[in-house]
Amino acid sequence: MLKDELVRRGNSLFRWRSFLPLVLVPPALWMGWKCPDWAHAKAWQVGCWGVGLLGLWVRAKTIGHVPPGTSGRNTSEGQVAESLNTREMYSLVRHPLYLGNYLMWMGLVLATGRLDFAMVVTLLYMMYYLRIAMAEEAFLEAKFGATYAEWSKRVPAFVPGRWGSRRSAWTAAGNAISWRHVLKREYNGTYALVLGYFALDAVRSAGAGDPSHLTFGWQVGLAVCTLAFLVLRFLKKRTQVLHVEGREFT
């Protein structure tokens, strides 16, 4: 069946879901070099930063409140879940992390000023993550049965609130947000987002013959972000500072 084939492909893509979107980097940089004049406006670029940061906020809220044992990232084991999370961001959409990913990437894509590129990326994103989402939902439906079926009927997949196919009621997480866990999980993605904006700013400025990306403030900003990334990476890999007991699977 076509559904089974899509689920099989989704399981294959699931293992590489954090890396495959990197194929967008070369075309995005090329598009940035060819950036139209109107997209150099500060208001537009600030708006693009806003879209990316909104995506980062969605991911932070999702990860910071997620209960232990509700999801897994181990790319060799594939799907991992001990319980079904239906609270906080999961009470608005069934796949808030993928919604956050889309907004983060779309902020970078829109910064190129190429709306046709944004449409193509949106279509590719839907094709790519739809398969992964189908694989995840098949796993959750098989494991949690009627509980999952009831939740999925009232909560839309990707688009929350009045813009989704149905309305869903907000349900508080019931636990405090763990910023240490957010830092542990999201420092890579955050740095990739920031580095992407710096890279696009560099090629966009160079393409327009503007050396603003070579200013002292620009270079200091990039250096500070890189230092923060290295410090957080050291804390995660070499210490227990960012470890939160009971969050091993999330």
> Residues 6 or more apart from 128 whose CB is under 8 A from it?
13, 20, 21
pTM for the structure as a whole: 0.85
Confidence of residue 75 (pLDDT cuts 50, 70, 90): very low
Asked if pLDDT for residue 3 goes beyond 90, the answer is: no
pLDDT digits (tens, 9 = 90+) for 96-117: 999 999 999 999 999 999 999 9
Mean pLDDT of the chain: 83
Q: Is residue 41 part of a domain?
A: yes
Q: Is residue 186 part of a domain?
A: no
Total of domains in the chain:
1
Q: Give residue 74's pLDDT.
A: 44
pLDDT digits (tens, 9 = 90+) for 179-188: 999 999 999 9
Q: Is residue 168 part of a domain?
A: yes
Residue 21's nearest CA partner among 111, 119, 137, 104 is 104
Q: Domain of 42? A: 2-176
Q: Is residue 202 part of a domain?
A: no
Q: Is residue 84 part of a domain?
A: yes
> What are the tokens at 63?
């990860």
Q: Is residue 214 part of a domain?
A: no
**What CATH number does residue 108 fall under?**
1.20.120.1630
Burial 121-132 (b: 16+ CB within 10 A, else e): beeebeebbbbb
- Give the residue, 169 or 190, on which the prediction is more confident: 190
Q: Is residue 151 part of a domain?
A: yes
Q: Give residue 224's pLDDT.
A: 95
Q: Is residue 222 part of a domain?
A: no
Q: Give residue 250's pLDDT.
A: 46
